[in-house]
Amino acid sequence: MDELVLTYRGSGGSRIPLEAEAITPDNLRGKERGGIERLTLFHGNAKVPLGDAFEVKGAPSDRLRVLGDLALVKGLGQGMTGGRLVIEGDAGMHVGARMSGGTIEVRGGAADWAGAEMTGGLIWIKGDAGNRAGSAYRGSKFGMRGGVILVEGSAGHEVGGYMRRGLIAVRGDVQDFAGARMSAGTIFVFGRPGIRTGGGMKRGTIVCYQAPEVLPTFRAAGSFEPLFVTIYLRALAARGFDVGRFEATRRFARYRGDLAELGKGELLVAQPD
């Protein structure tokens, strides 16, 4: 299958990030190599032609592969609406932020703000995610509004903050304030959660397979066997996100909160037999 391959030439020792939100399948589709090389990126506040920062090879396509040490390359796939972007290695901040469709696969880890305010599409991070994955930028009423973020490693603080819809699954641990001020949506945490999980939740669901420290503004509401959890787990497994072993746990304790807010959110804590 046709693929366009961009190889980062390196930062030349500079710690100043490269703003690369021009690199999306939408933007590169239908352009010849010359056109792609002439796209503008920003190195700090200086304009840089894409061709200076990346070697461009392959055929123009909806499928994009980016190689190199990209930890300081920001905004890859930002706002994309379709196509496929594979990042071989770590991605810088804002990967897939505000995207509405397509697939991003990060074969390393992602820095902060991965999938922030996204409305659709899939981001799959093989390594760790930074802080505020799927979250809102400062001041925005909502964070992620749709789509799926899968993290095979761990994630930082405020995963899914201000979430409005969509699904986030983290196979590893998450740090503090997961699902802070969520309005809706579902977050799965298969590893250890940090403190203040679900702080300020209005609605939405956070499923924890290891017990979190439940905030005092959450009310214990018995336990039950939520079928929808099974439905999501099976779909995740079918997609290749290996959480099949968690399907055996059917019973969850339920906590309603955050009572400091609307209080119609739920924290489901797995109760293994």
Q: Which residues bind other proteins (CB under 8 A)?
A: 103, 120-122, 137-141, 146-148, 165-167, 184, 186, 203, 205, 224-228, 230-232, 234-236, 239, 247, 266
- State the minimum distance, in angstroms, from the CB of residue 36 to other proteins: 23
Q: Are 68 and 8 in contact (CB under 8 A)?
A: yes
Structure tokens at 26: 């939408």
- State the minimum distance, in angstroms, from the CB of residue 179 to other proteins: 15
SS3 236: helix
Nearer to other proteins (CB atom), residue 56 or residue 106: 106
Nearer to other proteins (CB atom), residue 181 or residue 194: 181
Q: What are phi and psi of 91, to 5 degrees?
A: -110, 150
Nearer to other proteins (CB atom), residue 30 or residue 244: 244
Angle at 153 between CA 149 and CA 157, to 5 degrees: 70
- State the minimum distance, in angstroms, from the CB of residue 188 to other proteins: 12
- State the minimum distance, in angstroms, from the CB of residue 146 to other proteins: 7
- State the minimum distance, in angstroms, from the CB of residue 238 to other proteins: 8
Nearer to other proteins (CB atom), residue 1 or residue 227: 227
b/e sequence 95-106, b meaning 16+ C-beta within 10 Å: bbbbbbbbbbbb
Nearer to other proteins (CB atom), residue 92 or residue 166: 166
b/e sequence 135-165, b meaning 16+ C-beta within 10 Å: bbeeeeebbbbbbbbbbbbbbbbbbbbbbbb
Secondary structure string (H, E, C) spanning 16-27: CCEECCCCCHHH
